[in-house]
Amino acid sequence: MELYTTKSDVLVNPRSEYRVTRRYHGKVKAVVFDWAGTVIDCGVFSPAGAFMELFKEEGVEVTSEEARGPMGMHKRAHICKMLEMERVRGAWLEKKGAPPTDGDINRMYAKFVPKNIAALQNHSKLIDGTVECVAELRRMGIKVGSCTGYPSAIVEKLKPLAAAQGYVPDVYVAADEVPQARPMPYMVWLNAIRLDVNPIEAVVKVDDTVDGIKEGITAGSWTIGVARTGNYVAATEEQLATMPRQDLEWRLNRAYDLLHDAGSHYVVDSVKDVPAVVRDINRRLTLGERP
């Protein structure tokens, strides 16, 4: 008996005119949080300052916006992206007389890591609402993962600083633990593996950067962009409280637009808003919706 035939160069089972599609109707099982700008270091000053200092030592001064542009990526890739910026590359050529080499990038990355570690001492305060958010998620039966553009050496320094303030995720994944970091999906997938969570539709990725959102989308998870406390508003909680309204609104609207345009399913002000969004995702999952 012939079980399969070819039709228009497609293999067809003639006994199955209808296809069964499996849909997940359960609840969110895990939320994977980014670090800087999402749960710690409001405004993302630790890496931004380290990049600015790093390039200044090379004789190439960069702006805060240039230092923040590729934020979310593996930090070596971040250096590469900055060196590809037209103005930065021009300044480098003027100073050095030759394009940057892999040796230059490796040397700069080696210098960057201790600079960022040193910066953590002044920029490791948990963002307001983080501990309460995680506690609420755990009351909902949700596991808590984490990932970052930081390498393991920086994550190991972050762990005790965050734990002392009450934030201890169930899983830590660093950018150098996967074949490719953001915007590729591997850190989200590694979180799901270590948390023993499936399907991927039951995972939510929370991040304040475009590449972090793209990471979650590529992984197949739900995504929540964090605008107010993140990289694109670039302000401490104290600065947010005193910033002129017009300036804050401009920065916040820009951050919302960038994260929406990246494809984020939701964009919120801060981590405080995450539990409410997760409840809405649960509602949508019950209806059979997918990310």
Alpha helices in the chain (DSSP H): 45-57, 64-68, 75-84, 86-96, 102-120, 130-139, 152-163, 186-195, 210-219, 237-242, 245-261, 274-286
Q: CB–CB of 260/212 below 8 Å?
A: no
**Cα 29 from Cα 171, distance rounded (Å):** 14
Q: Which amino acid is at 165?
A: Q
Catalytic residue among 7, 9, 56, 75: 75
**Of 9, 27, 29, 34, which one is the catalytic site residue?**
34
Instruction: Give the integer Cα–Cα distance in Å for 49 and 52.
Output: 5
CB 175 within 8 A of CB 75: yes
Question: For this structure, is 214 an active site residue?
Answer: no
- Distance from C-alpha of 167 to C-alpha of 36, rounded to nearest angstrom: 13
Cα–Cα distance between 211 and 73 in angstroms, integer? Answer: 7
95 counts as catalytic: no
CB atoms near residue 5 (< 10 Å):
10
Which residues belong to the active site? 34, 75
